[in-house]
Structure 1
Amino acid sequence: MLAAAIALVGSLFFALGAALQQFEAVGSTKPGLLALLRKPRWLLGGVSILAGGGLHIVALGLGPLTIVQPMGVASLLFALPLAATLHGRKPSRQELGAAAVVAAGLILLVLMVPESEGPTRLDPNGVLTLLGVSGVAAVLLWAGSRAVSPAGRAALLATSSGVLYGATATLMRVLVDGTWNWWYLLALPVPALLALVMLQRAYAVGHFGVSFASLQIADPLTAVAFGALLLGEPLPTGIAPIAAAALTAAGTVALARTSPLEARNELA
């Protein structure tokens, strides 16, 4: 219960941070990091995200992944009302319903992933493969985002960010739990910074619900895929994962149709 409560509070901090950063980035033609770093609310959002991540780590130390991880997915349900409040509106029932479907599907997918056993090992060639595959995927998603609707652009840019964050998470696991070389530390900031840039560009489009949902989906699924391909970790099997993935996809499509295109309104 304590682990679940801490993880839930962490999700609230993460959602607040995402909403604050999106509020500052939305509507910007070039939401560069240097410009955003000069905005106090954006920095406050970053601090809130770090606090949420720290609480999530504490929760993992107190309880099993099957309890903590679903609480992390709850950040999507927190983030939509927070972002809507910043933009001076109320989220619609359809928007919240679509977000709930996404969260339900993602929770089912997360719970179906078998736990890995033993230390995490990745040789230098594996690290190069990790960075190369994630980088190419991110570039392709970015290129595709230039030829679609605003909702599709937000989804593809956020998915690109999620792929890079998933690669970062995989590399972080190797650093914490496996055998590594010192230059792995130098490689770690590369996908993390690129992910942050892509995410701000997704936020700038204005469809926050679509952006945040796409990020929430792409990040863990990419980490699971890299874990299977590069670390030899097991994948879920059977019809259930396919059904959960279909539910998540359906919720994301519904969210894209119900999430409004938001414009920047200055707070008093």
Structure 2
Amino acid sequence: MTVLAAAVALVGSLFFALGAALQQFEAASGGEFSLRVLLRRPRWLLGGAAITVGGALHIFALSLGPLTVVQPMGVASLLFALPIAAALHGRRPGRSELAAAAAVSAGLIGLVLMVPKSTAPPHLTGADGTAMLAGAALTALVCWAVAGRVNPAPRTALLAVAAGVMYGVTATLIRVLVEGTSWDLWLLAAIPLPALAALMLLQRAYAIGHFAVAFAALQVSDPLTAVTFGALLLGEPLPANGLAATAAALLAAAGTVALARTTPLSR
């Protein structure tokens, strides 16, 4: 069952990578950019369907095997996404790009393996939830403001980080809703807010053209946000070896910076 769980998670990563690459291709294709316009494009919608399938397969994999096996397979989506996106734009990824992507994946795998799983059911009060949403929104606004003043590669990274923060908040709310012993109606009402904001920010990042940078920054910021809020608000444990966890996060961040220097604009 563990081998089957790893295989299902790996296929899920492939679907997630394909969906992300398709959506970026459409977002960076030029012309008028808005979520309303993207929703009219069949290829962008196909990308969304692929991401949904990938997420469903990942959840199914978690029901078959342990988190320590399934999560690293999910991180592999970057290694799938890079060549898929390059092929869509009519080129081959360079060795330096693949090496940087491998560094991001290795750092994330190390990080997710070091985060201990909490045994207590999560619970989030209304006040804590409001503080979490406000903090995430402020972080996203700062990233958005700074992104307007920098070059394309760091702009892409900042917008993707903002999206990752909002996705991390969304994941935290969903986890409390699904795994908690009790939940309030406000949780259900609050989930679409950060999810929609994350979707719009990510498409803005994709539209700039540095797909690898956007996807890597998203993969780094999303779990870091979820782990941070889990520790601050849900009482979940942090990695026992803080130095090793920091080194893993820095490796993932360094890989993202390397991608910004080696991956060409795709528009």
**Is the Cα contact below 8 Å between 2:220 and 2:253 reproduced in 1?**
no
> In the aligned structure 1, how far is the partner of 2:31 from the partner of 2:158?
17
Q: Give secondary structure in 2 for the equivalent of 1:121.
A: coil
**Is the Cα contact below 8 Å between 1:168 and 1:191 reproduced in 2?**
yes
> In the aligned structure 2, how far is the partner of 1:247 from the partner of 1:234?
22
Which string of whole-angstrom CA distances, capped at 9 and with x for unpartnered residues, describes residues 70-114 of structure 1?
A: 000000000000000000000001101100011001100110101
**Is the Cα contact below 8 Å between 1:98 and 1:251 reproduced in 2?**
yes
> In the aligned structure 2, how far is the partner of 1:138 from the partner of 1:238?
26
Q: Which residue number in structure 1 is paired with residue 52 of structure 2?
A: 50
> In the aligned structure 2, how far is the partner of 1:49 from the partner of 1:40?
14
> In the aligned structure 2, how far is the partner of 1:223 from the partner of 1:239?
19
Matches within 5 A, 1:234-249: 234-236=237-239, 237-249=241-253
The match for 1:38 among 37, 40, 54 is: 40
Q: Does 1:203 align with 2:209?
A: no
Residues 19-28 or 205-214, more deviating: 19-28
Q: Which residue number in structure 1 is paired with residue 143 of structure 2?
A: 141
Which sections of structure 2, spanning at least 5 residues, go unmatched? none
Distance apart, 1:28 and its partner CA = 3.9
Distance 1:29 1:166, change over 3 A: farther
Amino acid in the other structure paired with 1:210: V
> In the aligned structure 1, how far is the partner of 2:253 from the partner of 2:36?
34
Amino acid in the other structure paired with 1:219: D
Q: Which residue number in structure 1 is paired with residue 184 of structure 2?
A: 181
Amino acid in the other structure paired with 1:151: A
Q: Give secondary structure in 2 for the equivalent of 1:91.
A: coil
Stretches (4+) displaced over 2 A: 27-31
Which string of whole-angstrom CA distances, capped at 9 and with x for unpartnered residues, describes residues 114-158 of structure 1?
A: 110111111111111111111111111111111111000000000
Give the root-mean-square deviation of aligned CA atoms: 1.0
Aligned residues: 263
> In the aligned structure 2, how far is the partner of 1:38 from the partner of 1:196?
15
TM-score (norm 2): 0.97
Matches within 5 A, 1:1-268: 1-28=3-30, 31-178=33-180, 179-236=182-239, 237-263=241-267
Amino acid in the other structure paired with 2:238: L
Distance apart, 1:31 and its partner CA = 2.7
Distance apart, 1:177 and its partner CA = 1.1
Which sections of structure 1, spanning at least 5 residues, go unmatched? 264-268
**Is the Cα contact below 8 Å between 1:161 and 1:195 reproduced in 2?**
yes
> In the aligned structure 1, how far is the partner of 2:189 from the partner of 2:7?
35
